[in-house]
Chain A
Amino acid sequence: MQKLIELRNIVKEYEGERVLDNIDLDIYDKEFVTILGPSGCGKTTTLRIIGGFETPDSGECHFDGKIINDVPAYRRPVNTVFQKYALFPHLNVFENVAFALRLQKVPENEIIRRVREMLDMVELRGFEHKNVNYLSGGQQQRVAIARALISHPRVLLLDEPLGALDLKLRKDMQNELKNIQQRTGITFIYVTHDQEEALTMSDTVVVMADGKIQQVGTPIDIYNEPVNAFVADFIGESNILDGVMIEDGRVRFSGKEFVCVDGGFEKNAAVDVVVRPEDVDFVSPEKGMLTGVVSSVTFKGVHYEFIVDIGGFKWMIQSTDFVDKDEVIGLSIDPDAIHIMKKSEYSGKYGDYSSFSDELEELSNAESVESDD
């Protein structure tokens, strides 16, 4: 695949605060890229730099091999679907979608044909003369997508476009966006704080935190091989433990020695060990590699979610087997379920479930959504 956008050492500061710290990123043609991170991580600023709404303080933004730092937004072959859509309230659905074509002085009959085509694609046929202010959130969203795609941009930027929709509609739109992207072959750069959305839709996920890119990879890579404690915790649930790499394939944590498949560390190097909650099996206490006491059980539908106290460290474990609260159990972990990471600035901040509760997590999620606006 061909490189379409290259960001090189992009730095951006607002009032002395560094929002983007040396961003280096390659985006390939026809790719669905998601920039994922918590609020304030710099993901929207990155998108706005590509769109031409912000100028980086230093660094270069290349498009198709040319530097476009000084190219204004209206001359970039890039269109945006804005957060909350930003439809023009004084124009009806047809004129909103036709906006870019009118600027290009496209003949009227071609405008009619192309707007029809776009409205068909987003399933809004017959809505031409509707007032955009009276459409539902999902319909406004579709108008915004049609409006951005009508001039066949090389790249479509989407800034949390599904944030204002309810869960069911969001799932439908995720599939639809993915479909549209595959049919049109346009590069999509999608910004979200929702990790599930990122894993579902993307070819490539870019995880950002604190103005830095933490990891770039396919959804499967990001989930299975997180590079540090931040990524491991942000994507899915993780138990993150302090460990020592005795030698390649042998790691020590929770007071025991385990066989693992990772290597390439110095002997006796301090590492972070990640074990996903679904990769731990319950066995009888005598057979277990580790033993622990169940301190809480929550029914989740497909599986149960347990918090298990193992030598003072609280693990999250998901299993379809039921064990009762206060029961002593043994745990077994396969070698390939143990993932080893280098120590980072995020070590020790994440992956301990001693203060975990669903309610708290929902609260903090809600906060991050609000403060993102």
Chain B
Amino acid sequence: MKKRSLGGSIAAAPHVVWSIMFIVAPLLFVIYYAFTTSDGTLTFENISALSMYQDIFITSVEMSVIATFCCFLIAYPLAYFMARASERKKRVYMVLLMLPMWTNLLIRTYSMMAILDDGGFLNTLLLTLDMAPVHIIGTKGAVIFGMVYDFFPYMTLPIYTVISKIDNRLIEASYDLGCNNLQMITRVILPLSKSGIISGITMVFVPSISTFYISQKLGGGTFELIGDTIERQFQTPTTYNIGAAISLVMMILILISLAIMNRFSDAETSGRIG
């Protein structure tokens, strides 16, 4: 890879241009805004001012961690049964899993609101059944529910892919050596699907921690997540800089946690052949 052929450079060009325009340039803008005041002088005040958002940070992390964990609990068994199903059933399950993803995320979240609202479908149903209505919208539970509902397919798919590739003979070997069904899962399937779990966690945790519409719609405006804070800063031109600073810190935090997790999965999967 010392020399690049001309053809290779030409083929790579659109991607390079695209990356510069839509990844590198915006990142540079974020960094520029994070370290300047609204009139363009260099400052660290944006970063040091972030301590006032500490509580929001903590709530966001807490809720995304809970949502990610719930996603894992739902997605893992689902992925396992999908992976062990016959080829025909696999296709059906896959379509069922992907189907909600064909609807826009915002629309799905809005319809969740319509269903769970105080005067919504669920409570109307409860009232007609002579049961007490439940207040859901505006609670943390509703927001976590929204995150789980919107993002759990992203947990299911990577785990499903990894489990599907596990050689059936390994499962038979584990039974042969004395595993019951539970031990087979904890001692063979679970460790062998670690890489899928880690990608799943990444793909749920990152969008959960930066979401703003889920907390706005299902949280009913009663509390704020970090995504909402960033969004609010960008509503008015004078607070761009503080918004950029929060984004930058978020990005760095996410990168660090991804690096830790990748280190984790590398150690586990290094040396696996095929």
Residues on A lying within 8 angstroms of B by beta carbon are: 51-53, 72-74, 78-80, 82-84, 86-90, 99-100, 103-104, 131, 133-134, 147-148, 151
Contacts and interface: CB of A to CB of B under 8 A. Distances in A.
Given A82-B169, A90-B268, A133 B176 contact: no
Given A53-B172, A72-B175, A131-B271, A86 B180 contact: no
A151 B271 contact: no
B271 A134 contact: yes
B178 A51 contact: no
A135 to B, nearest CB: 10
Interface in B224-274: 268, 271-273
A88 B188 contact: yes
B169 to A, nearest CB: 4
A3 B153 CA distance: 55
A74 B181 CA distance: 9
Contacts of B179: 74, 103
Given A88-B188, A90-B191, A80 B268 contact: no
Interface of B: 167, 169-170, 172-180, 183, 187-188, 191-192, 268, 271-273
B178 A103 contact: yes
Given A86-B167, A90-B192, A80 B176 contact: yes
B272 A74 contact: no
Contacts of B178: 74, 100, 103-104, 151
A79 to B, nearest CB: 6
Contacts of B273: 89, 133
B175 A74 contact: yes
16 contacts: A51-B176, A53-B176, A78-B176, A79-B177, A82-B176, A86-B169, A86-B172, A87-B173, A90-B191, A90-B268, A90-B272, A100-B177, A100-B178, A103-B187, A131-B271, A151-B177
A51 B178 CA distance: 12
Nearest to B272: A89
A340 to B, nearest CB: 44
B172 A73 contact: yes
Contacts of A52: 175
A90 B175 CA distance: 17
Nearest to A76: B176
A79 B176 contact: yes
Given A82-B172, A82-B176, 7 more contacts: A74-B179, A79-B176, A80-B172, A82-B173, A89-B273, A103-B179, A104-B178
A131 B272 CA distance: 9
Contacts of B173: 80, 82, 86-88
A134 B273 CA distance: 8
A147 B179 CA distance: 14
A333 B180 CA distance: 61
Nearest to A132: B271
A84 B172 CA distance: 13
A133 B271 CA distance: 7
A338 B176 CA distance: 47
A74 B188 CA distance: 15
A78 B172 CA distance: 13
Contact of B176 (A74, A90, A134): A74
B235 to A, nearest CB: 49
- Which 9 residue pairs of A and B lie closest in terms of their CB atoms, listed nearest first? A86-B169, A100-B177, A73-B175, A86-B173, A103-B178, A133-B273, A90-B191, A131-B271, A80-B176
Contacts of A53: 172, 175-176
A133 to B, nearest CB: 5
Contacts of A134: 271
Contact of B170 (A73, A86, A131): A86
A332 B174 CA distance: 58
